[in-house]
Amino acid sequence: MTDKRTIDALDVALLQALRTHPRAGALELSRITGVARATVSARLQRLEDTGVVTGYGPDVDVSAAGFGVQAFVTLEIAQGAIEDVRRDLEDIPGLLEAHATTGSGDVLCRVAAGSHEALQQVLVDLNRSPAVVRSTSVVALSQLVPFRTLPLLASEAAPGAGRSAMNRR
């Protein structure tokens, strides 16, 4: 984990350029951001090394891929069973993500399926874990705001070193 202060305006500009042009190489990113290619390469390497950038794989829209039925499921689990639940959840293909939480539930899961019948099977699979005491699910009707990071990073970015491409658009 990195201190948020290590992100500056140039880092945000590079991340925005990658979001807009995901196939761009260092030379193209250099042209877009107005900084030297070596600077782009060094910044991207630092963002990777510090764990800020975790990959360059394609973003996949699961709805467009045929899994348009999504739900959020809250699991209440047996005391001290978080690792058991983690192992059980990793074996469920329809599970997109899971987070340990505070509040009335212990784990919040996001799941996807190709039909309501398939969603029902994913819910049955979630409840097969011996560590799950109870589950509550809500079906997602539509996505209002997709997962995003750039507004947060930009709001807290330290003043940039070098030339900031954010003002060059």
Q: How far is CA 28 from CA 41, 109, 154, in A?
A: 11, 38, 22
Who contacts 159 (Cβ-Cβ below 8 Å, separation ≥6)?
A: 8, 9
Those residues with Cβ within 8 angstroms of residue 137's Cβ, 6 or more apart along the chain or in another chain: 71, 72, 73, 74, 123
The one-letter code for the residue type at 129 is S
Architecture of the domain spanning 69-140: 2-Layer Sandwich (3.30)
Task: Give CA torsion, residues 75, 81, 82, 85, to 10 deg.
Answer: -60
Distance CA(111)–CA(92), nearest Å, equals: 9
Instruction: Give CA–CA dist 44/14, Å, rounded.
Output: 8
pLDDT 10s per residue in the chain (169 long)? 444 457 999 999 999 999 999 999 999 999 999 999 999 999 999 999 999 999 998 889 999 999 999 999 999 999 999 999 999 999 999 999 999 999 989 999 999 999 999 999 999 999 999 999 999 999 999 999 999 999 999 998 877 554 544 444 4
Specify the pLDDT at position 161.
53
> In the chain, which segments carry CATH 3.30.70.920?
69-140
pTM strictly above 0.85:
no
